């Protein structure tokens, strides 16, 4: 039986709950709901849960650090579960993708995402699968932080709901079929 970890990145606290930067948390919660995992357990600076699903042992985690400090939690989660970075899918927001667009990759740089960069730094590798979810790029110069920490507008919510649904399917496809199949089915 294979073992996989899905990590959704975000910021803890009610003030960040429905912001663009927390789409990773939204996906983690939705995956947990789909497979019946309870994410209330706090360990390794994360809220996480493990279940058996379709013949696989699946962990879902939300690092309970701030986004830019996700690496310490991810490193501890992998170590405790005896997993390699390639056994994990990290789900993050991406301002470089149009709203609702998904892009999966087996590895690569952080692309300016501080949460991914911290994980790369802690793991000393960029060879781990990631799923990026486009949150748009409608902000003025110097307003990026305000934008990513703002909620989605009313007219954006339908596109976001569709992206979250596809992201859950992509994450579960990673569990059953791996990152290459995710890329073939969900990129674009």
Q: What is the pLDDT of residue 148?
A: 85
Predicted confidence band of residue 179 (pLDDT cuts 50, 70, 90): very high
Predicted confidence band of residue 1 (pLDDT cuts 50, 70, 90): low
Please check whether residue 119 is in contact with residue 70, taking contact to mean a CB–CB distance below 8 angstroms: yes
Which among 91, 152, 98, 85 is positioned nearest to 124, based on CA atoms?
Answer: 85
Judge residue 147's burial from the number of C-beta atoms within 10 Å of its C-beta, 0-12 exposed, 13-18 middle, 19 or more buried: middle
Percent of the chain with pLDDT over 70: 99
State both tokens at 173: 């496809």
pLDDT in tens, 71-92: 999 999 999 999 999 999 999 9
Which among 45, 78, 62, 69 is positioned nearest to 119, based on CA atoms?
Answer: 69
Residues recognised as catalytic: 21
pLDDT in tens, 42-75: 988 999 999 999 999 999 999 999 999 999 999 9
Domains and CATH numbers, the chain: 3-186 (3.40.50.1470)
* pTM for the model: 0.95
pLDDT of residue 172 exceeding 90: yes
Neighbours of 128 (CB within 10 A): 25
Please check whether residue 103 is in contact with residue 132, taking contact to mean a CB–CB distance below 8 angstroms: yes
Which among 181, 173, 27, 4 is positioned nearest to 93, based on CA atoms?
Answer: 27
Q: What is the pLDDT of residue 147?
A: 83
Q: What is the pLDDT of residue 138?
A: 78
């Amino acid at each position: 039986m294979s073992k996989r970890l899905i990590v959704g990145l975000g910021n803890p606290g009610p003030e960040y709950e429905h912001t663009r930067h927390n789409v990773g948390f939204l996906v983690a919660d939705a995956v947990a709901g789909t497979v019946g995992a309870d994410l209330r357990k706090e360990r390794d600076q994360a809220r996480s849960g493990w279940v058996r699903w379709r013949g696989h042992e699946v962990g879902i985690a939300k690092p309970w650090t701030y986004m830019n400090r996700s690496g310490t939690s991810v490193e501890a989660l992998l170590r405790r579960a005896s997993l390699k970075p390639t056994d994990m899918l990290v789900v993050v927001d991406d301002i470089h993708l149009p709203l609702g667009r998904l892009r999966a990759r087996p590895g690569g740089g952080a692309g300016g995402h501080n949460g991914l960069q911290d994980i790369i730094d802690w793991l000393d590798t960029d060879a781990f699968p990631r799923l990026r979810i486009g949150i748009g790029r409608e902000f003025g110069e110097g307003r990026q932080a305000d934008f990513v920490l703002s909620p989605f507008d009313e007219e954006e919510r339908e596109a976001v709901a569709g992206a979250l649904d596809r992201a859950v399917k992509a994450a579960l496809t990673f569990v059953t079929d791996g990152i290459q199949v995710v890329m073939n089915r969900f990129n674009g």
